[in-house]
Structure 1
Amino acid sequence: MMACILRAWCAHQAELCRFLRHHLSSETDADDLLQEVFLKAVRTREGFCTLNNPRAWLFQVARNALIDLLRSRHPQAPLSESFAQPPAEDTDPIDDLSACLPRVLGELSADDRLAITLCDLQGLTQQALAKRLGLSLAGAKSRVQRARARLRARLIEACQVKFDDTGRVCCYTPRTTDDEHG
């Protein structure tokens, strides 16, 4: 049991030591963490000898010990009461946006509204839309694409929809029935 641990330790100790000393300003701290890594390997007993990649395991333990040490050194401020309370609602903004959609959809042209309603809301394929409206498939695809672009522009303008860095809806301003167009 100890032979496989000692072989792995002898093969990787110097590299582990350089890694820890590179990330810590104190050689003593690095040596202490190195000792913790060794002790953890010894405590795993036979389990260590069955590892496919002892080097990777040793480095993962060293990284975790390093992270724990660095976290313990940073002062941690207590959370304010507002963080302790769960949010009032845990809904996806895109779900809430459905309240704005019917009114904005009603402001689109009849052709745009029909394309969006049939394909996006009722699940009709663009091929079926083309057949139903007597259009080519390319014409139906183009109509749906243009309708979606106009709907998006209208939602952005009318409901002040905002997007995050990934393009997902992050927030919007709800419209009331008293709001004017735009």
Structure 2
Amino acid sequence: MDIKIIWSQYQASLKAFLHSKIANPSDVDDLMQDILIKTHQHLYAVKEPSKIKSWIFQIANNTVIDFYRKSHASQNVEVGSLWYEQEQTQVITELAGCVKPFINALPQDEAALLTAIEIEGISQKEYAQSHDINYSTLKSRVIKSRKKLHQIFNHCCSFNIDSQGNLLDVTPKNNTCLKC
């Protein structure tokens, strides 16, 4: 893997990503340089060339977070004003809209169960009580429904997940998959 080829391939999209998160163009240039250095220093750690894109963007995301943390330490910035704090609710709402068609592909009772628990945020105990279901039975049903949902996802897309289980990248396997 050649750093020059990799950098030329992703430089423009990285810069666009940084501009969407950082207002000052000179800060963007500084962060681009930091990302290039980190990429060059740790490129040996990437074993699969297909994972380069998600790896570089994870470096970029972490670099932006570090940038805001450093500026937060030197300024009194409210935590609520940071982009990575503000977007969490919005991202969850957007992702729920994308997951909903997949959940709806399940049998009706399983779809209703996962919609209530995963999308609406109702606790499993609360759901079990309101539907007069034994709590341990409900837990088993949730696990079974999640496995079926996972099978639907895997049939449709390839997922790149980091060591902590965070989703890094999704690639559709074909054009017939459910869309959000």
Fold conserved between structures, TM > 0.5: no
Larger radius of gyration: 1
TM range (shorter): 0.3 to 0.5
TM-score, normalising length from structure 2?
Answer: 0.44
- Whichever structure has more helix as a proportion of its residues is 2
